[in-house]
């Protein structure tokens, strides 16, 4: 099976001690188990991919009629979270009902993990864009304001994309080239070195790194 990705849930962070005694900060991920719900082909959809569903209990009344028919067509149980994974080999014979498990990853290889970052609400420029801020002494009344945002004579306007206070977080982010520290096939757990976007309990997408060093 040429599926290079899997869906999962971020469980939290821990640390693992290496053979030389150094502490390695790790994120614990529940990777799968997943089931192939639909196979997308280049002839029909324009690209080769599989739609995966994370095996997780969901009440029948929570599933719409359209999605109930979608799962029934694949002969799989309804699932809460779905996601697509591209397939490089168009001749791959992956079909609906096949299982994708965490044992597809190996210790020492690198993965990219995508998730939705924690929402921070409305934040000012200092926190959102790391503005330096003004003096905190000598009667200064300029502390955390944005300051000048454009020139006056030319171009006499504010450039598009100017950093302003606003909504921060709750965006899809990807942590790249995280080394796999441990694979637990029995518990469907994957430990990767470093931090992963999102809060504990949030859904994440794991794929083998595209630009691994």
pLDDT in tens, 73-92: 888 888 999 998 888 766 77
Instruction: Please tell me whether residue 125 adopts helix, strand or coil conformation.
Output: helix
Percentage with pLDDT > 90 across the chain: 41
pLDDT in tens, 15-46: 989 888 889 999 999 987 999 888 888 888 88
Tell me the pairing of strands 172-184 and 189-193: antiparallel
Architecture of domain 5-120+169-208 in this structure: Beta Barrel (2.40)
Q: Which residue ranges make up each domain of the chain?
A: 5-120+169-208
Tell me the pairing of strands 203-208 and 5-17: antiparallel
CA–CA gap between residue 50 and residue 205 (Å, rounded): 14
- In this predicted structure, which of 23-32, 44-53, 90-99, 170-179 has the lowest mean pLDDT? 90-99
> pTM here?
0.83
């Amino acid at each position: 099976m040429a599926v290079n990705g899997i869906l999962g849930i971020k469980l939290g962070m821990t640390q693992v001690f290496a053979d030389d005694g150094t502490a390695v900060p790790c994120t614990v991920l529940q990777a799968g188990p997943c089931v192939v719900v639909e196979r997308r082909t280049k002839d029909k959809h324009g690209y080769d991919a599989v739609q995966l569903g994370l095996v997780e209990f969901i009440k029948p009344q929570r599933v719409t009629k359209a999605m109930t028919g979608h799962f029934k067509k694949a002969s799989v149980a309804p699932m809460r979270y779905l996601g697509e994974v591209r397939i490089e080999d168009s001749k791959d014979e992956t079909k609906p009902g096949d299982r994708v498990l965490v044992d597809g990853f190996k210790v020492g290889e690198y993965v990219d993990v995508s998730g939705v970052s924690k929402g921070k609400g409305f934040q000012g420029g200092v926190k959102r864009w790391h503005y330096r801020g003004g003096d905190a002494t000598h009667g200064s009344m300029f502390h955390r304001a944005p300051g000048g945002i454009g020139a006056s004579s030319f171009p006499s306007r504010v450039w598009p994309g100017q950093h302003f206070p606003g909504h921060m977080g709750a965006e899809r982010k990807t942590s790249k080239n995280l080394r796999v520290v441990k694979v637990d096939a029995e518990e469907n757990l994957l430990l990767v070195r470093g931090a992963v976007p999102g809060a504990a309990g949030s859904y994440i997408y794991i794929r083998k790194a595209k630009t691994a060093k």
